[in-house]
Structure 1
Amino acid sequence: MKIGYFLSCEEYTPESLLSQARLAEEAGFESLWISDHFHPWNDAQGQSAFVWSMIGALSQVTSLPITTAVTCPTIRIHPVIIAQAAATSAVLTGGKFTLGIGSGEALNEHVTGARWPDTGKRLDMLRESVEVMRELWKGGFVDHHGEHYTVENARIYTLPETPPEIYISGFGPRASTLAGEIGDGFVTIPPDTDNIQAFRAAGGTGKPLHAGVKVCWGNDEEQALRTAHELWANDALPGELAQTLSSPRHFEQASSLVTPEMIRNSIAHGNDVDRHVEAFRPYAEAGIDVVHVQQMGAARPGTDAEGFFAFYRDQVLPRLRELS
């Protein structure tokens, strides 16, 4: 199991994201995830950099592989444009770019006024978008008149030597099955064994599994817990709320039901090495290939980025290499 670092566009400024990428590579992390959002989940997070600008900048400051976690290529941005953006990203990174995609959240995709469809239609749109992007990456002119997308006389001229791989996220059986059918890999957050099995049964056996985990390192355990709760209580919301709520205000309202005690045992916080290492054990047991860790609140008192990376470099990553 390899350990990567998760860059949160929702929480950090562009300058901070670039700094964290440099620190991650120096600390021994092996890859980068970067989120793709139009809005943060709540105003406390407070940022939302455009991911394609960030990838271009990251390509100039780090040599680590980069994966979007995840892009929605269906509503807010047409798959023709995502195909061009991904191709350029692959060129800039020397082929070290993977396009992670998913069916999206209303939080980000409703902003153009387009209707937010149900899950089945979103997955149909995702399937067709993959067909469009892969056809464009072949290098010729493309005409496509599908159920959801029209492409007329389109050609991408700036192409990498090898088309980007597409990893598909899955948080339920239908999306996980689709990922196994058409994806080059699988993206998830929790190591849900049912979703992983659905992915593998649908054709994903032998394909890479990527996952993510949030932590809040800090020398003051209770302050770290408060920071995690203030910034990321939305992670504890159940069901499909993350896909259907359309505004940071709505997430703040729903998250008001989440108390610090509700997340105390679900998020590694503070500076206990064993607690941080144990957070990764379920991922190793589930057979995850790469886990990307996100430090919450690196700009908050007691949880600075430099301290987090030193802690993981010196104390956690060596243990995780033994774990894997």
Structure 2
Amino acid sequence: MTRFGYTLMTEQSGPRELVRYAAAAEERGFDFEVSSDHFSPWLVEQGHAPHAWTLLGAVAQATSRVELMTYVTCPTIRYRPAVVAQQAATLQLLAEGRFTLGLGSGENLNEHVVGEGWPAIDARQDMLVEAMEIIRELLGGGLVTYDGAYFRVDSARIWDLPEDGVPIAVAVSGEKSVARFSGLADHLVAVEPDAELVRAWDGAHEGPSRKIGQLPICWDPDEGAAVARAHEQFRWFAGGWSVNADLPTPAGFHGASAFVREEDVADSIACGPDLDRIAESARPFLDAGFTDLAIVQVGDEGQDRFLEEAAEPLLERLRAL
């Protein structure tokens, strides 16, 4: 049976609000919670970007049951891989085994800020391979020295290490990335309900694995208000990941989405009060073979009301699918 999660969308809410939403989402019955890891919001209208790892440390203490995950962290430019390994080990201890480290090759929006430039896609994937090798070695215990094309590690050890390790999930987009990363990760992350991608992963990956997707929705008792909010907050989504990975600033996303209409957003994001229709929008992920699906309720406005009024009946409908 598919497991359903709640997204801590750091681009649209402040840290204290997100911790409160995390606790409420656990109470409402979500199976897991994922946090985006951004330095900037996609759009100025979203207005937030708290530090994901600090946030998840607080969430680990505010919750007791839900699994936690970064969705996703780029361990190559803004963060160094050895530091990501240390962060993941510490968070796993705080969460008492509930944490999964989600990794990906990142977006220019978040990585250019440290002044190291933005490599081409092949270089980014080469960097991610090295970073994952380092992270896996460090999380395995022992003293690690690594000399790669992009990263060096000199006699490093994680001193506070969880006994059962940290599962790793990786974002992939096609057969090439599946081939490169399936041997380095435990689980798959994807943002499109692509059955071919799931089959390719299952064919390349040894052993059982989770296939983790994400679905934006915009519930509101007023459908017009829901569509307007989804357009204001989430029109960046229309560009697709081939565009989204390379734009450097919220101003760039504003320009790229200037001609996206409200009806365009409503065609791709289920909006309004109809929980049956919202639940049905998850079906492509279920049909594609995803084992886990994280729901994004668009916008900070109305988030409390969504959790209080709509979350539980929506979960009932999703699980009935």
- TM-score band by shorter chain is over 0.9
Consecutive unaligned residues in structure 2, runs of 5 or more? none
- In the alignment, the residues of structure 2 paired with residue 239 and residue 10 of structure 1 have an alpha-carbon distance, to the nearest angstrom, of 17
Q: Distance in 1 between matches of 2:144 and 2:178?
A: 29
Could you list the structure 1 runs, at least 4 aligned residues long, displaced by more than 3 angstroms after superposition. 310-314
Q: Give distance in 2, aligned partners of 1:239 and 1:134.
A: 27
Give 1:321's aligned amino acid.
R
Aligned to 1:318: 316
Distance 1:289 1:316 in 2: 18
C-alpha displacement of 1:261: 1.2
The match for 1:34 is: 35
Residue pair 2:191, 2:214 contacting (<8 A) in 1 also = yes
Give the aligned residue type for 2:113: V
* Structure 1 partner of 2:290: 288
Count of residue pairs the alignment pairs up: 319
One-letter amino acid of the structure 2 residue matched with residue 235 of structure 1? F
* Structure 1 residue aligned with 2:99: 97
Matched residue, 1:110: 112
Answer whether contact 1:218 1:308 (CA < 8 A) is retained: yes
| Cα distance in 2 for residues equivalent to 1:288 and 1:310 | 27
- Provide the rounded CA distance (Å) in 1 between the counterparts of 2:247 and 2:312: 40
| TM-score normalised by length of structure 2 | 0.96
Q: 2:12 aligns to what? A: 11
Deviations for 1:293-321, whole angstroms, at most 9, x for unmatched residues?
0111132xxxx223212343442211221
The residue type equivalent to 1:310 in the other structure is E
Select 2:303's aligned residue among 285, 301, 305.
305
Which secondary structure state, in structure 1, belongs to the residue aligned with residue 79 of structure 2?
coil
Residue 62 (structure 1) aligns with: 63
Structure 1: any 5+ residue segments left out of the alignment?
none
Q: How big is the alpha-carbon RMSD for the aligned residues of Structure 1 and Structure 2? A: 1.4
CA apart distance, 1:118:
1.2
Q: Is the 8 A contact 1:34 1:51 kept in 2?
A: yes
In 2, Cα distance between equivalents of 1:201 and 1:115: 35
Aligned residue among 254, 259, 262 for 1:260: 262
8 A Cα contact 1:268 1:276, kept in partner: yes
The one-letter code sitting in structure 2 at the alignment partner of 1:28 is G
Task: Name the aligned partner's letter for residue 249 of structure 1.
Answer: A
Q: Of the candidates 121, 127, 144, which is equivalent to residue 142 of structure 1?
A: 144
1:229–1:259 Cα contact (<8 Å) kept: yes
Q: Matches of 1:49 and 1:182 in 2, distance apart? A: 29
| Partner amino acid, structure 2, of 1:98 | T
Corresponding residue for 2:237? 235
C-alpha distance in 2, partners of 1:31/1:180? 23
Residue 131 in structure 1 maps to residue 103 in structure 2 = no
Measure, in 2, the Cα distance between the counterparts of 1:106 and 1:53: 22
Please give the alpha-carbon distance, in whole angstroms, between the structure 2 residues aligned to 1:115 and 1:61: 37
Note if contact 1:101-1:168 (Cα within 8 Å) is conserved in structure 2: yes
Match of 1:270 in 2: 272
Cα pair distance change 1:238/1:4, threshold 3 Å: closer
- Cα pair distance change 1:190/1:311, threshold 3 Å: farther
CA offsets 1:19-50 (integer angstroms, 9 cap, x no match): 11011011110100100011111111110011
| 1:21 aligned partner, one-letter code | A
1:205 Cα deviation after fit:
6.3
**SS class of match (1:244):** coil
Any idea what the Cα deviations from partners look like across 1:137-195, whole Å, max 9, x if unmatched? Answer: 22222111111110112111011111101100012332233332321000112211232
* CA distance in structure 2 between the partners assigned to 1:20 and 1:117 by the alignment: 36
Amino acid across the alignment from 1:12 = S
Q: Is the 8 A contact 2:195 2:287 kept in 1?
A: no
